Structure 1
């Protein structure tokens, strides 16, 4: 989301013990790369392991020269690579009989927006239909800038504008095909689909039907309208897409003085200024106090079945979810790791009760509804524990406000605080090296440590004025379902030329700040994407870092090189590849972002006119090698 880091949510006032011994940030384990091992058999349609063109490149590491820091309003990549823009905001997704054209004046209607690409592309995945030649791109649309979205910005406000904003959120499913060396958006397509903030969905898992999920419109507490603020994503071994609801609470209008539950989730009067409640009363929590509880979940979508109903999987816990990354245990059970992008919040993992079954989405339709949710504690000696969020165990009892397992999951933040989980510096994307069984998580930044009665530094979060962020790494004991872990820092982001100790970092290679997106490709190369706040770019610790970027890291050596620089004001977020590794799809979000976008439609154009010289638009960038080789080699 438009991340002015000075105003981000910081609602965790639990009294968890804080640790004060600094860890050694230079520790490194030698890792092995690539998707493979236990995932290969079940992830075969989605995996990059064993694909033509990758086997010979698997050990070759990073094979390109770094690009320089850039402040240009363009996408830059190394020599020998080409870029192509597809699927920009406002292009028709490809629904039969609904092909509304983009209008640069912002004059398209709510109904037209519901058939077009949404705003602010984020998490993305390529689902192969015909190997690396044809497939589906499924991507998130995180939020809206109403100044850009509407012809007159927010000079007026109406039910139509609320409907249009809701239609610009959610998820898009589009078909793409490689023809003569360029990727084409296939329209119409029977797979094309838009999922928005108004799409009917089901609730699954222990919180479905709970008293805290029931509303006047849904007295059974099992059906909900819409998903929004969709940030990171994940894929499952049975071929479905996981989209994650992040900063959902800002869409709700709350009371002047929220109760303890509302305060813990950041509910406040007028939210973050979206004003949806003025024309859609379900976003008025003073009238519908349970409606916020129905959001903040991981949503499962079957992209191959456009008639399927998305399901919010409550067993995975309620949080400001950044992403959901799936591994498999040796006995075939699913493990879903997720981070919560807010200051002093937590890292979670869910372990399914049952093993994954052959037969795709239908055979595993309830797999994510049954299992155990854990929250992480990182200890000073480099060890840690996964603490189970199970009703009746330890403090998670009715006496402490948890009547049953459903309430534990709805109040996962409160439960995690009582268990003594480690408060983290905005945990975001998680990537898994299935060959080494190492798990990585980006921690974007946190300048509030030690302020306003918040904890000071601890071993896992070792900088008090953390403007630069870091990447933590752990390995669960025995298997991915292990309850113990060993952890270290993969890298502390920063600039070795910075005079301030907390901003230097320990990067072996190109400087960067605020790591966010994270993905490990089929060769084991780690791709790191940055999200420096637009309001902070070019200032203070970030002054010399230019625009947001995507970098490649070799986990075995720690070497990091800058691969792609985005246009002015953007965030670089979301990356996926074709099975042969010869095409990367990278999302560019909010080019031209400025603090006044929501009220002034002209403001962003002062900073960017990417990608086509008019109103700035989020879009997907296709990256390929000129010689047709594997990207990154």
Structure 2
């Protein structure tokens, strides 16, 4: 995810020709091409879709509903226009931004459901609008910069899942300090009070959502409402728990200080979860929050060891831990986040954290079996034999795609029997071969690296026992993936598994690859097999799975497990879509146009795919994360958006556009599919404390008057929010 406190990955370095996926397809045998053709990537399938080609379709074609097909119920709306600067001017706006509002198709309505600063639990106070809230008040309010989310329904009176009441779990990824504090991050001086408020705005917001007389609202006094923040006590479990690298210094954490006790934690206890980006759920009904750019919250006032010669230095180097971080100043007032004072603390982050949405007293659990990296999401599949796997991306340039296969089987009749399934299993990393086959490489002590030696004999993972070796493999997951020769990918983000419904039987998983401005640029380099490469520093050449140099717009990859089982170690794959700009004026335009299937051609162009989610009915929803103001490479595409896709043909429609400088991220539905919750993150990003509404005043500016029972929102600051969307005829979203 991009943000003011995150590294950017969208600067163009060079333009270069590169082989297209169609060139790759031309060199594989007919049986291997069949998956591609059936999926809509081949010329035959494109022609059968009404004469569509990668070159385009005349713009005068009138869009018609996308019909139902195997495993897919169709798309019943027409694309909304792109939110461009030109569109803003046409509406009387200015050419320096896109339209500062959300837009949904005709026949749909959208309202803000919850926004940063809204009370979500007993004792919570209303959002003031001038950032005067204290850390204690923020602890009872909805957190900042929401991301992944899921709606967990209560059981209704009929014994079925309710579509009127549930617990909504929402990630709060990061904070914009210039908006969070009245005087910004510097102001009259940086203090522990500012650190605590920033920490309180991170993490996860858990709230009760209820619909009464057709109107959704937060139950502000609900016993289910709670905040999980950067200081919440958590349990560490799985193979890496208790390892010496997981034993950080113990602190007494109060509102006014973090005071060292002089003792070390035991490696089974951690405090806090941060940079909670995308998410997942389990089939047994718990929430998984994924720690992504956690490295940026650490820093130091002195030089940090990032050498390739010490264990700590190599870990810091490979995971991007530095003295400067992303500009947060927590380490100045909270020694727990000073890398030199507390060098093992970073190892307690980068995990998938399990939360029970219906048990407010249960501690979050950091599940080390799923590996440590910049987790973007963790989407599960249960196969026909009740084997269960979780698919994950590591969101940084040149990183990898993983899956974790539980050792035990899912028990659908006994929730308690599944409680520790995530603690035992095998973590794999993906290798995508040029013949459109792929292999899952197990990250275990006896797996051979590219040097021909077992990982247990690799100095990075050496230990007195295989249990210790496995713990090190999981703590140093990126280095293990380097060692076995996994395929470096263009920022693997959200994963999504296609529902096996209405005749569709495959285990088919998708992953967004947002962009990579280093791909195919000079001088070519790869992540070193010894794990010594600094994070995001390599410049890999193009390959079959990442076929574009200077990959500004990104793409979506998908694969099918051999034998329709998640335990497979082989798969076949293709590219579902290469995002791009049909109207690009860049030289070597073929590298940037993409091959999005839409009618008319160019009507659903998008770039930087990020969020990705299949609804229970089989529609694929894709959300984007780019600069968001319609500038530069996105002048024609406009601001960020959410599109809906047919997984069979690739046909795509633009469903929602967001306000200026926002990211559209996070989506979930009620069980009946008639209410959708969508996240809008960091509207007006990059504004200053002196002028917090410099780029956006959303959502207040979209709901300024009493209308439809909605109370006007407080002014003063742009606010990340969750929007609730319904269809005016009461139907299923997307139909």
Q: Is the shorter-chain TM-score for this pair beyond 0.5, marking a shared fold?
A: yes
Residues 1:59 and 1:432: Cα distance change in structure 2 (over 3 Å)? closer
Q: Secondary structure at the match of 2:197?
A: helix
2:192–2:333 contact (8 Å) kept in structure 1: yes
CA deviation map 1:57-106 (0-9, x unaligned):
97541100110011211110011100010110000112x3x121211010
Among 552, 566, 578, the residue aligned to 2:644: 552
Residues 1:74 and 1:517: Cα distance change in structure 2 (over 3 Å)? same
The residue number in structure 1 matching 2:29 is none
The residue number in structure 1 matching 2:658 is 566
1:361 deviation in Å?
A: 5.0
2:499–2:614 contact (8 Å) kept in structure 1: no
2:150–2:667 contact (8 Å) kept in structure 1: yes
1:558 deviation in Å?
A: 1.0
2:660–2:696 contact (8 Å) kept in structure 1: yes
User: Hey, what's the Cα distance between the residues in 2 that align with 1:473 and 1:359?
Assistant: 31
Stretch of structure 1 that moved more, 220-229 or 444-453 = 444-453
1:397 deviation in Å?
A: 1.8
Residues 1:551 and 1:287: Cα distance change in structure 2 (over 3 Å)? same
Among 617, 629, 632, the residue aligned to 2:731: 629
The residue number in structure 2 matching 1:607 is 695
The residue number in structure 2 matching 1:67 is 80
The residue number in structure 2 matching 1:175 is 208
2:579–2:595 contact (8 Å) kept in structure 1: yes
Among 86, 97, 104, the residue aligned to 2:129: 104
Among 448, 451, 460, the residue aligned to 1:401: 460
Among 533, 546, 553, the residue aligned to 1:461: 546
1:391 deviation in Å?
A: 1.6
User: Hey, what's the Cα distance between the residues in 2 that align with 1:524 and 1:5?
Assistant: 35
1:216 deviation in Å?
A: 2.5
The residue number in structure 2 matching 1:192 is 225
Alignment of 1:440-459 (within 5 A): 440-449=510-519, 450-451=521-522, 453=525, 454-459=539-544
Q: Secondary structure at the match of 1:414?
A: helix
User: Hey, what's the Cα distance between the residues in 1 that align with 2:720 and 2:414?
Assistant: 32
1:248 and 2:294 correspond: yes
1:56 deviation in Å?
A: 12
Residues 1:303 and 1:196: Cα distance change in structure 2 (over 3 Å)? same
Among 236, 240, 243, the residue aligned to 1:207: 240
Residues 1:323 and 1:461: Cα distance change in structure 2 (over 3 Å)? same
Alignment of 1:72-471 (within 5 A): 72-94=99-121, 96=122, 98-129=123-154, 130=156, 131-154=162-185, 155=187, 156-217=189-250, 218-253=264-299, 255-258=303-306, 259-358=313-412, 362-395=416-449, 396-402=455-461, 403=463, 404-435=469-500, 436-449=506-519, 450-451=521-522, 453=525, 454-471=539-556
User: Hey, what's the Cα distance between the residues in 2 that align with 1:123 and 1:607?
Assistant: 24
User: Hey, what's the Cα distance between the residues in 2 that align with 1:347 and 1:153?
Assistant: 37
Residues 1:89 and 1:578: Cα distance change in structure 2 (over 3 Å)? same
User: Hey, what's the Cα distance between the residues in 1 that align with 2:729 and 2:570?
Assistant: 46
2:439–2:570 contact (8 Å) kept in structure 1: yes
Structure 1's unaligned 5+ residue stretches are 11-19, 32-54
1:493 and 2:579 correspond: yes
User: Hey, what's the Cα distance between the residues in 2 that align with 1:215 and 1:257?
Assistant: 17
CA deviation map 1:275-328 (0-9, x unaligned):
111111111111111110110000000001000010000000001000000111
The residue number in structure 2 matching 1:15 is none
2:499–2:618 contact (8 Å) kept in structure 1: no
CA deviation map 1:486-521 (0-9, x unaligned):
000000000222242221000111100000000111
1:540 deviation in Å?
A: 3.1
Stretch of structure 1 that moved more, 206-215 or 493-502 = 493-502
1:475 and 2:547 correspond: no
Residues 1:208 and 1:256: Cα distance change in structure 2 (over 3 Å)? closer
User: Hey, what's the Cα distance between the residues in 2 that align with 1:589 and 1:111?
Assistant: 23
1:506 and 2:595 correspond: yes
The residue number in structure 1 matching 2:43 is none
User: Hey, what's the Cα distance between the residues in 2 that align with 1:330 and 1:376?
Assistant: 22
1:324–1:338 contact (8 Å) kept in structure 2: yes
CA deviation map 1:521-564 (0-9, x unaligned):
12211001000124xx4333211111100000011121101000
Alignment of 1:503-542 (within 5 A): 503-509=592-598, 510-534=604-628, 537-542=629-634
1:8–1:343 contact (8 Å) kept in structure 2: no
User: Hey, what's the Cα distance between the residues in 1 that align with 2:416 and 2:196?
Assistant: 32
CA deviation map 1:412-452 (0-9, x unaligned):
00000010000000000011013232110000000111345
2:493–2:611 contact (8 Å) kept in structure 1: yes
Across the aligned residues of Structure 1 and Structure 2, the Cα RMSD in angstroms comes to 2.0
1:601 deviation in Å?
A: 1.7
The residue number in structure 1 matching 2:532 is none
Q: How many residues align?
A: 593
CA deviation map 1:30-79 (0-9, x unaligned):
49xxxxxxxxxxxxxxxxxxxxxxx9997541100110011211110011
The residue number in structure 1 matching 2:255 is none
CA deviation map 1:337-363 (0-9, x unaligned):
000110000000000000123466533
2:2–2:625 contact (8 Å) kept in structure 1: no
Structure 2's unaligned 5+ residue stretches are 11-17, 26-35, 41-67, 84-97, 157-161, 251-263, 307-312, 450-454, 464-468, 501-505, 526-538, 599-603, 702-714
Residues 1:319 and 1:603: Cα distance change in structure 2 (over 3 Å)? farther
User: Hey, what's the Cα distance between the residues in 1 that align with 2:336 and 2:128?
Assistant: 30
User: Hey, what's the Cα distance between the residues in 1 that align with 2:5 and 2:434?
Assistant: 27
User: Hey, what's the Cα distance between the residues in 2 that align with 1:628 and 1:106?
Assistant: 38
The alignment's TM-score, normalised by the length of structure 1, stands at 0.90
Stretch of structure 1 that moved more, 178-187 or 236-245 = 178-187
Structure exhibiting the larger radius of gyration computed from Cα positions? 2
Residues 1:451 and 1:189: Cα distance change in structure 2 (over 3 Å)? farther
1:329 deviation in Å?
A: 2.7
The residue number in structure 2 matching 1:620 is 722
User: Hey, what's the Cα distance between the residues in 2 that align with 1:515 and 1:399?
Assistant: 36
User: Hey, what's the Cα distance between the residues in 2 that align with 1:300 and 1:561?
Assistant: 34
Q: Secondary structure at the match of 1:489?
A: strand
